[in-house]
């Protein structure tokens, strides 16, 4: 649950490209952007989805997988100091099983790990062939700020996003890999992502912090656009093309005001929604 303490927080997105399948090459980029964020006294820094490995790994997934207590993650956690840093990696979760995951790092510790729940298996995406889906939501408390992590397509499952919002996070941290043209039809990836982020921010009075890649990977192009959206749906900061960070300050009084004006949390009526879903599930079992 979020804290009632009022506070200003400095949030940042780290925009970068990744060398596919080369963790050692991607580590120095993380180190540099972490150092830049700490110089700007950032409280929370978010890297893109699979930022340590790149996206289209296919058969290379086992080669780059690591346990959550891997020394390289611990090293990034030490580099982060008091700042909460979210990095993307492939987590080894069992013999021959791997997750698309995000590690929350701080003061040499792994504070939490979110495994992507809504794996992409549409358009040009084939995550379900190589990754094991997560089964839980992830929220990490940091200096009085409640942070929920949803990876990329987790946000395109409205029921999953609603369940995460019911935890009353102060902010949602969204590592993303969304290459142009991966969704069939006339789906405008860049414009639609911004619509998605602004909708959730406005509907739930919850700032959204989206970190995305910029650059190419094989035939894929990642368009950047990493941004921070305030509790009223206003874009507070947006990264320039290329590698770098974008920073915005969040005042928790603005979250209070947005949720009082749009009481989605208060009026969610979770028992009713749960009963309606249960009835639907019962009808489907009857078929």
Q: Which residue has the tokens 């249960």?
A: 278
- Work out the average pLDDT over 225-253: 97
Answer yes or no: is pLDDT of 27 > 70: yes
Residue 182: Cβ-neighbour burial (10 angstroms; 0-12, 13-18, 19+): middle
Res 2: pLDDT? 44
pTM score:
0.92
Under the banding of pLDDT at 50, 70 and 90, the label for residue 287 is low
Res 188: pLDDT? 62
Q: Which residue has the higher pLDDT, 285 or 65?
A: 65
Under the banding of pLDDT at 50, 70 and 90, the label for residue 3 is very low
> Domains (ranges, CATH) in the chain?
8-286 (3.60.110.10)
Under the banding of pLDDT at 50, 70 and 90, the label for residue 277 is confident
Answer yes or no: is pLDDT of 281 > 90: no
Answer yes or no: is pLDDT of 5 > 70: no
Percent of the chain with pLDDT over 90: 80
Using one digit for the tens of pLDDT, what is the confidence trace for 173-210? 999 998 876 666 566 678 889 999 999 999 999 999 99
CA distance 102 to 159: 21
- Work out the average pLDDT over 130-158: 96
Answer yes or no: is pLDDT of 233 > 50: yes
């Amino acid at each position: 649950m979020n804290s009632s303490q009022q506070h200003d927080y400095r949030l940042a997105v780290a925009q970068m490209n990744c060398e596919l399948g080369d963790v050692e090459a991607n580590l120095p980029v993380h180190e540099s952007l972490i150092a830049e964020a700490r110089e700007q006294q950032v409280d929370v820094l978010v890297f893109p989805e699979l930022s340590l490995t790149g996206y289209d790994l296919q058969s290379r997934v086992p080669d780059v997988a690591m346990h959550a207590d891997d020394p390289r993650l611990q090293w990034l956690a030490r580099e982060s100091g008091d700042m909460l840093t979210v990095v993307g990696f492939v987590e080894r979760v069992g013999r021959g099983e791997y997750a698309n995951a995000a590690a929350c790092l701080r003061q040499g510790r792994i504070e939490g790990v979110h495994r992507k729940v809504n794996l992409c298996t549409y358009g040009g995406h084939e995550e379900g062939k190589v990754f094991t889906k997560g089964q839980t939501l992830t929220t990490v408390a940091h200096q009085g700020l409640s942070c929920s992590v949803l990876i990329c397509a987790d946000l395109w499952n409205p029921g999953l996003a609603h369940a995460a919002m019911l935890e009353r996070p102060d902010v949602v941290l969204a590592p993303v890999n969304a290459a142009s043209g991966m969704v069939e039809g006339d789906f405008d990836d860049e414009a639609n992502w911004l619509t998605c982020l602004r909708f959730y921010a406005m509907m739930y009075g919850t700032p959204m912090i989206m970190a995305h890649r910029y650059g190419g990977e094989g035939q894929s192009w990642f368009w950047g656009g990493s941004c921070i959206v305030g509790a009223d749906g206003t874009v507070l900061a947006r990264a320039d093309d290329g590698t770098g960070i974008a920073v915005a300050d969040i005042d928790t009084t603005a979250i209070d005001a947005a949720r009082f004006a749009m009481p989605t949390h208060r009026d969610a009526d979770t028992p009713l929604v749960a009963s309606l879903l249960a009835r639907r599930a019962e009808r489907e079992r009857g078929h």
